[in-house]
Chains A and B, each alone.
Chain A
Amino acid sequence: MLAISPVNENTWIVYFGQTISDDVALQVKHFNDLLWSRHATVMLDTVPSYTSVLVTFNLRLIDRFTMAALLRKAHQLTLSIDLIDQALETRVIEVCYGIGAVNDLDYVAQYCGLSAQQIIDLHVGQSYRVYAIGFSPGFGFLGNTHKSLFVPRRKTPRLKVPAGSVSLADNQSAVYPSESPGGWQVIGRTWQNMVNWDSDEFAFLKTGYKVRFEPISETEYLAKGGQL
């Protein structure tokens, strides 16, 4: 895989390896910040993720190869410096596990060869890093889950996954901020809003934050405004 690969006539994707790690996450963040500070005029948008940054540029202002040269420079610069992790905020998300009609907890338990309670214990037993925001507004990709929780995405994505669905896919976990189609395995629901359109804060999670999950009862979930 090339570090800088064409995606379409006005998009490049820049990779920092294929393995998820804190070091790579810092490189992705640095590279993305560097592009916006130096080349904002010719760029349309970027999507930073775990190990890559997708860069869409304005073909009316810059051609594909000139853009690639800018990306190559920023890529080399990012790799050449030592990046230091900054103090991170921790967010706590309260989860009622195994409720609702869209619920794969038993399937996940069966797939992983564990009981439902063991799945819950492993899921709440560690903290996670927000590696990326995307898929939908405020959708935080949280890694890495315990290796025993590894479960593939559904073969065919669901057309509707409810807002607040706490889910697993591969070695990642996430909360659906709004109802959307999706292929992740749903193990629980939170009552907390992941996005607030009227607040400057906008998203409950931001790239770089730490996250922990806490189990709550169905009674508590409903009392706090959780929907079934």
Chain B
Amino acid sequence: MRYLTDRKRAEGLGASGSGTHHHWQMMVSSILLVPLVPLFIFTFGYGLGGTHEEVLAYFGRPFPALVMALSLIVITLHVMHEAKAAIEDYMHGVAGKLTLIFATAFSYTLIAAGLFAIARIAL
């Protein structure tokens, strides 16, 4: 242990890992939420409440389909990072690692399934 320099031992740990990237990522997606959250809430809210045919016709139009697809990607990835930060803070060891992997898999599955559904409705 004592043969390693202090710097060598600290490298790759804590904030010196990928903290700057994560921080910038959250800044960007946080700013993107400001136009996307209102667009998503009112687009989805307007789509909800119709018959099956009306819903298919509504999300078949370019604007609602694009808003839903963009929101699914940007908002889901943003809240995935949010959830992962919470897991990193409060869970440790193997359980923490497995939960991180689960959160990632869950989020990407949601995005893939949602995009598939929108494509199927719109195309």
Mutual binders A and B: no
